Amino acid sequence: MHGDADPFTREGFIATLNAGLPTKRAIAQALIRNEHGEVLLCELVYKKFWDLPGGVVDPGESPAHAVVREIREELSVDARIRALAAVSWLPPWRGWDDATLFLFDVEVAEADIARAVLETREIRAVHWADDVTVKARTADYTARLIERTVQQLADGGGTAYLEDGADPDWA
């Protein structure tokens, strides 16, 4: 086609190879906790279960930039990333392909959350949730992800690698 890179050049060869490689959806979410250890959850208009703030990483965007952007878009608050807390591979689910989820330990002033302006096309409300509420209101993999990541952070560990929100079976 006119305008395509010549496949016999380095750029054309790379473009041809790149076009045939698999792509994987990336998701960036925030673990935001208050002074009582509660986790901020979003009550979404399009999902049964509550979820962590965040969303899909746009093409060419880093997961860290995406989570800050999503928080600004969805809650109208500024966020500061403390650390990458966990990376979790998510298996295919209900018609969605597998994905890689990046969970960041994020700081947002509690007063800013109280004044958040929600993106009402996506978010119905935000809630501070204790362990019982997390288990009752989130999808199972989200509850596992939160529990495992909070424990990892409490233990002073580094970034957790998880599969479907849990420690992988290395056997």
Looking up residue 112, the CATH number of its domain turns out to be: 3.90.79.10
HEC letters along the chain: CCCCCCCCCHHHHHHHHHHHCCCCEEEEEEEEECCCCCEEEEEECCCCCEECCEEECCCCCCHHHHHHHHHHHHHCCCCEEEEEEEEEEECCECCECCEEEEEEEEECCHHHHHCCCCCCCCEEEEEEECHHHHHHHECHHHHHHHHHHHHHHHCCCCCEEEECCECCCCC
Question: Is 54 a domain residue?
Answer: yes
pLDDT given at position 171 = 67
Residue 15 lies in a domain: no
Range of the structural domain that residue 150 is part of: 39-163
Q: What is the mean pLDDT of residues 35-44?
A: 97
Could you tell me if residue 139 is inside a domain? Answer: yes
Q: Would residue 5 count as lying in a domain?
A: no
- Determine, yes or no, domain membership for 49: yes
Q: What is the mean pLDDT of residues 149-159?
A: 94
Average pLDDT over residues 133-150: 97
What's the mean per-residue pLDDT of the chain? 92
- What is the per-residue pLDDT for 4? 72
What pLDDT score does 3 carry?
65
- Residue 1 in domain: no
Total domains in the chain come to 1
% the chain with pLDDT above 70: 97
23: in domain = no
